Amino acid sequence: MSLSRRSVLAATAALPFATQARADTPNFTVLLDWFVNPDHAPIFVAKYIGAFAAAGLNVDIIAPTDPDIPPRMVAAKKADIALSYQTQLYLLCDQGLPLRRTGTLINQPLNTLMALGTTGIHKIADLKGRKIGYSVAGVEDVLIGTMLGSVGLTLQDVTLVNVNFNLVTALISKEVDAVIGGYRNFEENELKEKGFNPVVFLPEDYGVPPSDELIMMSNAGALNDPRLPKFLTAVKKGCDALRKDPHGMWEKFIADQTSLNDTLNKTAWFQSVPYFAANLFYLDVKRYSTYRDFMFAKGLIKHKGDVSAYAVTIPA
């Protein structure tokens, strides 16, 4: 998530949003990947329609102050679920953290490499000799290198600039000619809203295997927690309700999250509806093994474990 996106969402306090359920039920703590935003819609809709309460769950939805914290909190058994990314899952498991993917919220990539139409960049080959902004060293440079490699270029053909999550600002100010890390349901819309014409390249079209954008991680020692399938089922009900009535659920969301009531978040809300996984429980083993092989081949992970070392299917 870019800093521009973070700043729009930063008004949302990083505090728990507790559902209504029996007072004697232990809290089930869910840590978001960052500030509350439309990518989290099914979880909030599950709260609005009473799906958590109906399942007998007290769910605390907490927005962290640092996106690196949630998986580590779950690994330390300080929380029950962390939202994170498939790429992050492999990196953390490779470090030995006891984490497993137990559910999928968004089962397609949202990441992009973007340029402005005014730069004259219209195809990947046009990046030769240009400056590309990135934020996450060791991962995004691999993605850039892979995309460049699809047209016979290498990282030596471009200049990489760490823009520290200032993706949109870096593009508009011409600090760089392109950036990686912007979401197709947010930064692309933000640029359009500001009057710019973004040229968007999807990593999966240029040699990067597709991955799940937003997943749920649990502690490997808590996979038999009876609350886990109840939580996933409730979120699935939230997803179903969102698809059935996206406008009504948007009204509930902005009544709950008043600081997000703007055009940018509204556009992202409706654009994101088809991105959410129809079956949160489903694990695409082939996708997970393919992406594991990609990360291993690129030197991002040192171990090439079985898919079960990273992701599992929780019985509904």
**Percent of the chain scoring above 90 in pLDDT:** 87
The domain ranges of the chain are: 3-108+212-309, 111-205
Q: Grade residue 279 by pLDDT with cuts at 50, 70 and 90.
A: very high
Q: What is the pLDDT of residue 70?
A: 97
- Do 111-205 and 3-108+212-309 have the same topology in CATH? yes
Q: What is the pLDDT of residue 37?
A: 95
Q: What is the pLDDT of residue 24?
A: 54
CATH class of 3-108+212-309: alpha beta
Q: Grade residue 2 by pLDDT with cuts at 50, 70 and 90.
A: very low
How many residues are listed for the chain in this entry? 316
Give residue-wise pLDDT tens across range 86-116: 999 999 999 999 999 999 999 999 999 999 9
Please determine, for residue 16, whether its predicted confidence score (pLDDT) is greater than 90: no
Which DSSP string corresponds to 20-65?
P--TTSPEEEEE-SSS--GGGHHHHHHHHTTHHHHTT-EEEEE--S
CA distance 256 to 19: 12
Which DSSP string corresponds to 123-149?
SGGGGTT-EEEESSTTTHHHHHHHHHH
What is the SS3 assignment for 215?
strand
- H-helix segments, 150-262: 167-172, 187-193, 227-244, 246-256
Q: To 10 degrees, what angle do helices 86-94 and 285-297 make?
A: 60
Q: Could you tell me which residue, 6 or 130, shows the higher pLDDT?
A: 130
Q: Grade residue 10 by pLDDT with cuts at 50, 70 and 90.
A: very low
Which CATH number, 3.40.190.10, 3.40.50.80, 3.30.930.10, 3.30.479.30, labels domain 111-205?
Answer: 3.40.190.10
Share of the chain residues as helix, strand and coil, in percent rounded to the nearest 5: 45, 20, 40
Please determine, for residue 121, whether its predicted confidence score (pLDDT) is greater than 80: yes
What's the whole-number average pLDDT of the chain? 92
CA distance 105 to 238: 11
Give residue-wise pLDDT tens across range 218-234: 999 999 999 999 999 99
Please determine, for residue 119, whether its predicted confidence score (pLDDT) is greater than 90: yes
Please determine, for residue 151, whether its predicted confidence score (pLDDT) is greater than 60: yes
